[in-house]
Structure 1
């Protein structure tokens, strides 16, 4: 799904922050979106379903619906129907009514256990893949027709039926059934209701194994494209803030102790570089995602004379998976995505931690706009940085998804195993978390107000220019190790006197080394210190501005 960059115009009916409804209204791929709209043709089962929804929404109306900004950022498992939880409450047939026949039930002498059906069904979450399932099925059907495996009449019927299925999904009228297990069989069953035997022929030369692998890759490719756009917005906000504060001095820290002066702009550019590498990893991951599994069938390929390359071209894949066993059984492409996402969240978490620290009055380096903070139910004075705290916390969700999928695949024999059904919920949740986090991070950065006077005040403690004094002595011919020792003694005396090095009289400094002259005081200020570091990657204001210019060119 394409996620709009932060600050992008929202269409009519969209929630104003771009978060609340994104997961509830799945954008259809272009190939599905462009299908002709089917006639309404509503049957009795659809009317019953609508009546149930009307009753539910009437109950909601009595309580009062929240506005867009108070809705959840995303709704788990609600990608196709906004009211996902409710829609699954009524899908089972009444007691005594026959359950739908399974696509695989011919082998079995007794019906599937009701508890087993619920335990193994994935439709509550994998229906999020419905637009991509339709997209892949249409490309598959067209290939079958081109290869003489499917008649032109059957292809026309499938395209017509899929148009109606897509309409029903768009309108929230599609009836999802746990008894039909997953998104694939739900769509196929409805298609067969609409077009008869043509729908039954669609599954020729494929398996759900290669079908779901294709759906996930189509979905993940779109997610990566959206995340890259959101990361670009984050980096643009960092560049804007860094440019405004290219010369604003602040302490640089090691071990969270004052180390050397840097500029706030230079500090922010460190995160720009981190997020740029994150974007590069996602883009690189996309290349391995963008290969077509379809045509691998269950595990061994198919005996039909198919043309996989034409399907890959229609669906925008760079090529096909070369080995049918590998194509249906591995999820390393999803694990790679989660690893890249986990690294990105690690960088988000580090920035979040610093924002939390900097907002603390003991630092006071920044203020965060009220709209991104909360208060206390008992302490009237509190202003809490909840957004960065929660971004820091949500990092664990993405880490957990990565560990879940690594654990999932670690001991599976080839080829497909039911274990792989468990890949989707962690994968979906991680993608949602990444998208929502990048979205709000870009907005949050626009609400950060630096406080230069507090940053400079912090530089008066901790002897941040001590290294500059040592470098000064080196330039005067003193070996660095000797210079290090000389300055360490000077720091100890200044500390005992309660002064900064720049506040010691010249004669005091000369007591440590006769090579110290009056010109030393120009570099014992924070501004003098950063100005000396003019090389590429340095913290001098001119070097920071040059880095920003190069970064904008890269974007």
Structure 2
């Protein structure tokens, strides 16, 4: 049955006021429509609270059963659209109490005993974030899988590595892709660590001092998938550092995605031509028919600033607030919802773009030695031959100058030119001036040698499996 949108509201406050709130106050105070996504989480908290009221003797057994059945029915009606908030409902809590009272009469009003919107609001958002942390982690997992799949195909693909966006040393392209896997994946570990710190329930804190009615918050905490209640009832309703930390992880992830996106923009440009993006993940120009634009990468890059702004905005809202609860804290939801919604769009699009991009192996190899990327091999060979590296560096620089003067790369240097630059540059150095030799020499842990990159991929896959156990199975709370 559709709940009517008309009729007087049932505010959760106002008994001591002589007049109705002004229209301006109502407009400013009412929750944004997007906040009502917390309905299932508020109802999950209401179930736990109802059982606490039963333990306190406020609800009889038959009343508890009736109330829980009504909460279950209300959740289904909300999810199917059979019931919705009306304009007069100030927030999620007002909306739900109104409907429960309409359906249960005075029994619906009993649920408010022993709790406050302060601990409800904190609990609703914390449950939501713990739920969505796993959704985000799963999307990151998919992006990592796409990058790893590409890396597995290019363990033998040679390319130039860059510093300062200048050719620096040759690497295998898989090694570069795996650098993004490592950077992106650390954010899943951050979410796991964040979740451990966030597994404390604010229910039972009430307004700030704790509840004289609900005295077993550890039972409600366990029911909702928390490890324990919050240690301090004031901190329980006043703290939003868990929101800021969550927003930091979102913004750090967005920054990593932006860096990946920037490289895809470069790689797909006419100047690089390293990769070709699938048509399904590009757009064209309304005026230039030849254009193929990497819009997913560009849009993802642009969203990073937005998520950083959400973090900065929340930190700014918190910085001067006295304890305990202040209405300023309502900013937590706008920031969190926007960051989650944004990542929920960006991550799948990026994963699909990476999974379908085609890499020009021959072009990468041709460009790999350009820009004297083999120069470090000369300096290293001299150092291993006993030449102090400071001298080896100078000798190699002189060799590069000589090559520039002749318009050749190091791979084309002659024995005569070596001897002309420095007598210590004997012909033996030439066997080190190949791409395969340079890459094969980097056999240290984490290096670019193909064997090491293969090992890195295997470790990354094991890490994904470990993270996946948390993403898909560790949370015992409501999955709404």
For normalisation by structure 1, the TM-score amounts to 0.82
**Residue 314 in 1 paired to residue 214 in 2?**
no
CA distance in 2: counterparts of 1:186 and 1:300, whole angstroms: 25
Tell me the residue number matched to 1:68: none
Tell me whether 132-141 or 296-305 shows the greater mean CA deviation. Answer: 296-305
CA offset digits 1:230-273 (Å, max 9, x no partner): 11111122111111111211111111111111110011111111
Tell me the residue number matched to 2:366: 457
**Residue 243 in 1 paired to residue 165 in 2?**
no
CA distance in 1: counterparts of 2:73 and 2:452, whole angstroms: 59
Distance 1:159 1:387, change over 3 A: same
Match of 1:114 among 23, 34, 54: 23
Higher relative contact order (CA 8 A, sep 6+): 2
CA offset digits 1:30-77 (Å, max 9, x no partner): xxxxxxxxxxxx26x55xxxxxxxxxxxxxxxxxxxxxxxxxxxxxxx
Match of 1:375 among 281, 284, 291: 284
CA distance in 1: counterparts of 2:377 and 2:106, whole angstroms: 82
CA distance in 1: counterparts of 2:50 and 2:202, whole angstroms: 15
Tell me the residue number matched to 1:516: 425
**Residue 202 in 1 paired to residue 126 in 2?**
no
**Residue 433 in 1 paired to residue 342 in 2?**
yes
**Is the Cα contact below 8 Å between 2:160 and 2:369 reproduced in 1?**
no
Tell me the residue number matched to 2:205: 296
Match of 2:45 among 133, 136, 139: 136
- TM-fit CA distance, 1:305: 5.0
Tell me the residue number matched to 1:32: none
CA distance in 1: counterparts of 2:390 and 2:84, whole angstroms: 77
CA offset digits 1:174-199 (Å, max 9, x no partner): 13123220011101110011011111
- After TM superposition, the structure 1 = structure 2 runs for residues 133-532 of structure 1, keeping only pairs within 5 Å, are 133-532=42-441
**Is the Cα contact below 8 Å between 1:220 and 1:289 reproduced in 2?**
no
**Is the Cα contact below 8 Å between 2:381 and 2:429 reproduced in 1?**
yes
Q: Residue 15 of structure 2: SS of its match in structure 1?
A: helix
Tell me the residue number matched to 2:470: none
**Is the Cα contact below 8 Å between 2:162 and 2:169 reproduced in 1?**
yes
Aligned length in residues: 464
Q: Which runs of 4+ in 1 moved over 4 A?
A: none
- TM-fit CA distance, 1:436: 2.1
- TM-fit CA distance, 1:138: 0.6
Aligned alpha-carbon RMSD (Å): 1.4
Tell me the residue number matched to 1:35: none
CA distance in 2: counterparts of 1:379 and 1:476, whole angstroms: 57
CA distance in 2: counterparts of 1:170 and 1:295, whole angstroms: 27
- After TM superposition, the structure 1 = structure 2 runs for residues 1-20 of structure 1, keeping only pairs within 5 Å, are none
**Is the Cα contact below 8 Å between 2:56 and 2:213 reproduced in 1?**
no
CA distance in 2: counterparts of 1:491 and 1:212, whole angstroms: 65
CA distance in 2: counterparts of 1:171 and 1:267, whole angstroms: 46
CA distance in 2: counterparts of 1:417 and 1:100, whole angstroms: 23
- TM-fit CA distance, 1:116: 1.6
Tell me whether 301-310 or 350-359 shows the greater mean CA deviation. Answer: 301-310
**Is the Cα contact below 8 Å between 1:144 and 1:306 reproduced in 2?**
no
Unaligned runs of at least 5 residues, structure 2: 465-480
CA distance in 1: counterparts of 2:214 and 2:75, whole angstroms: 29
CA distance in 2: counterparts of 1:241 and 1:101, whole angstroms: 57
**Residue 126 in 1 paired to residue 35 in 2?**
yes
CA distance in 2: counterparts of 1:354 and 1:470, whole angstroms: 29
- TM-fit CA distance, 1:444: 1.4
**Is the Cα contact below 8 Å between 1:356 and 1:388 reproduced in 2?**
yes
CA distance in 1: counterparts of 2:211 and 2:460, whole angstroms: 49
**Residue 552 in 1 paired to residue 461 in 2?**
yes
**Is the Cα contact below 8 Å between 2:52 and 2:214 reproduced in 1?**
no
- TM-fit CA distance, 1:101: 4.1
**Is the Cα contact below 8 Å between 1:117 and 1:178 reproduced in 2?**
no
- TM-fit CA distance, 1:521: 2.3
**Is the Cα contact below 8 Å between 2:314 and 2:332 reproduced in 1?**
yes
For normalisation by structure 2, the TM-score amounts to 0.94
Q: Residue 180 of structure 1: SS of its match in structure 2?
A: coil
**Is the Cα contact below 8 Å between 2:149 and 2:355 reproduced in 1?**
no
- TM-fit CA distance, 1:412: 0.8
- TM-fit CA distance, 1:453: 1.8
**Is the Cα contact below 8 Å between 2:45 and 2:123 reproduced in 1?**
yes
CA offset digits 1:413-463 (Å, max 9, x no partner): 111111111221111010111222222222111111111222122224210
**Is the Cα contact below 8 Å between 1:134 and 1:162 reproduced in 2?**
yes
CA distance in 2: counterparts of 1:554 and 1:170, whole angstroms: 36
Q: Residue 178 of structure 1: SS of its match in structure 2?
A: coil
Tell me the residue number matched to 2:471: none
- TM-fit CA distance, 1:123: 5.0
